């Protein structure tokens, strides 16, 4: 399992618009500096950014921790009630399902020796819980796949070839 320590991946899910989702995933093996850093993030919440241990279940006395243990933290500051509900509801459930999909697909083992850390971006204007859950599930599974299997070499080389033409939706220059 040491070969997974420090592996990173990212994934997009859903259609463009407020109900899509973007995640970053970091894998850490228990007892390593990576795992220590991930646990440090878990213990240092900030206003609007609450790291939580991902659980599933219908009632407080029935919650189950997803295995391997998965920590999520939101990238978009969640201050509005609806954004919080979608982030820690649909987002958390989608993360759980994506991690469990990765276990079912043989990418991860259901062990406490690995920590999955998911940073999730959900648009503050998201409104459709099922769409957000499905987008998150897909994004997490893709990100774990990238972390475990690496990035497609041809896609990486294609990006290098296009490096002078790349842009960003947040860049306004020429």
Position 13 pLDDT exceeds 80: yes
- Domain membership of residue 125 (yes or no) is yes
Contact, 71 vs 52, CB < 8 A? yes
Asked if residue 21 belongs to a domain, the reply is: yes
Closest CA to 38 of 79, 76, 3, 69: 69
> Is position 102 within any domain?
yes
pLDDT, position 49? 87
Q: What is the mean pLDDT of residues 109-119?
A: 95
Per-residue DSSP letter, 17: S
pLDDT digits (tens, 9 = 90+) for 139-155: 999 999 999 999 889 99
In a domain, 149, yes or no: yes
CB 4 within 8 A of CB 107: no
| Domain that includes residue 128, residue range | 2-160
Residue 53: inside a domain: yes
79 or 92, greater pLDDT: 92
Greater confidence (108 vs 170) lies with 108
3-state secondary structure 88-128: HHHHHHHHHHHHHHHHHCCCCCCCCCEEEEEEEEECCCCCC
pLDDT for the residue 124: 94
Please say if the pLDDT value at position 17 is more than 90.
Answer: no
Could you tell me if residue 70 is inside a domain?
yes
* The total number of structural domains that make up the chain: 1
Q: Is residue 171 situated within a structural domain? A: no
In the prediction, which pLDDT does 74 show?
94
Q: Enter the pTM of the model.
A: 0.92
Residue 27: in which H helix or E strand, if any?
A: strand 21-29
CATH number for the domain that contains residue 132: 3.30.230.60
- Does residue 37 sit within a domain? yes
pLDDT digits (tens, 9 = 90+) for 65-84: 999 999 999 999 988 999 99
Q: Give the CA distances from residue 52 to residues 88, 90, 130, 170, in Å, rounded to whole numbers and listed in that order.
A: 9, 14, 21, 29
Return contacts of 56-60, CB within 8 angstroms, 24+ apart. Answer: 56/93, 56/96
Q: What is the mean pLDDT of residues 118-139?
A: 96
Nearest to 23 by CA among 144, 145, 118: 118
């Amino acid at each position: 399992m040491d070969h997974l320590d420090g592996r990173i991946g990212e994934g997009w899910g859903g259609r463009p618009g407020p109900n899509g989702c973007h995640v970053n995933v970091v894998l850490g093996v228990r007892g390593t500096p990576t795992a220590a850093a991930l646990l440090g993030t878990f213990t240092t919440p900030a206003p609007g950014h609450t790291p939580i241990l991902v659980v599933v279940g219908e009632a407080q006395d029935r919650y189950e921790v997803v295995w391997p243990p998965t920590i999520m933290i939101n990238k978009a500051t969640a201050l509005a009630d609806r954004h919080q509900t979608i982030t820690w509801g649909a987002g958390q459930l989608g993360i759980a399902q994506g991690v469990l999909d990765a276990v079912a697909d043989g990418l991860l083992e259901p062990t406490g020796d690995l920590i999955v850390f998911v940073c999730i971006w959900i648009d503050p204007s998201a409104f459709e819980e099922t769409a957000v859950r499905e987008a998150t599930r897909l994004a997490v599974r893709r990100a774990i796949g990238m972390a475990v299997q690496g990035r497609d070499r041809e896609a990486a080389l294609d990006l290098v070839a296009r490096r002078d033409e790349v842009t960003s939706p947040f860049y306004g220059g020429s």
